[in-house]
Amino acid sequence: MRMLIFGPPGAGKGTVAGQVTSEEGIPHISTGDMLRQAVAAGTELGRTVKGLLDAGELVPDAVMIALVGERLEQADAQDGWLLDGFPRTLPQGEALAELLARTGQRLDLVALVEVADEVIVERLGGRRVCLACGATYHLTYSPPKVAGQCDRCGQEQVVQREDDQPETIRRRLATYHHQTEPLIAFYEAQGVVRRFDNSGAPEEPVRAVRAARRRSRKRRPTDTRFFFITSACRPCRRSIASSLTIRSRTSR
């Protein structure tokens, strides 16, 4: 199984991805982890990435696709993989398609985890964190016993992070939709996109992704036909046909 997963910040795609990769026995390859591993490995690409990050620059698409190609060549990715965080833009998606075509791989599934924007704003906007010990809370689902005071360490340093403020969340969502919509259209044209609503219980999209994986494995056998020249005699044609074994080949 070779798949991509998309979802806005706060949609819970990390939970879905973790369950899927655990069941499939394939690596969960995230952009951040991939960059950190490349730098730690000290490869030529890793040194290039380190120089860019140290300078505060964005990693160019050409370097990212080279990193992805390098990662997909590793032994644990030979039977499949789940890419999380790449591609982010249409040019990256097109570059990934070219890479897969060169290496003879097929993309089986693009999982799009969806949650309404206002539900995400409520989820993330209600989060609180203790600056002293790092304990996390949610004003609706798991508030501290005393407002502003941490249950774990007792410090009155339970605050809302800037990233969790509603205005910041909405800006991040707008950026996600602007970047992702053309990319989703690109994959929808290939017939590999499946949408999963994660507004409810987290196990619901996991079950839906599991069913979509099963369906994606069902492939029609290759329709192989042999045509014989009419000048051959009938016994000869039967003899030739009986000696042929036609096997339908489907990609893993």
| CATH number, domain with residue 147 | 3.40.50.300
- What residues make up the domain containing 45? 2-242
Phi and psi at 69, nearest 5°, equal -60, -40
Distance CA 164, CA 126 (A): 8
Any domain includes 251 = no
pLDDT, tens digit (0-9, with 9 covering 90-100), for 160-188: 999 899 999 999 999 999 989 999 999 99
Tokens of 114: 């969806």
Residue 225 phi, psi dihedral angles, 5° rounding? -125, 145
Mean pLDDT lowest for which of 13-17, 84-88, 161-165? 13-17
Which residues are tagged catalytic? 13, 88, 127, 161, 172
34 inside domain: yes
> At residue 4, what is the residue type?
L
pLDDT at 141 over 70: yes
Task: Look up the pTM and report it.
Answer: 0.75
**Amino acid residing at 98:** E
How many domains, in total, are found in the chain?
1
Determine the pLDDT at residue 202: 56
Cα end-to-end distance, the chain, whole Å: 7
Strand order in the sheet with 158-159: 136-138, 127-130, 158-159
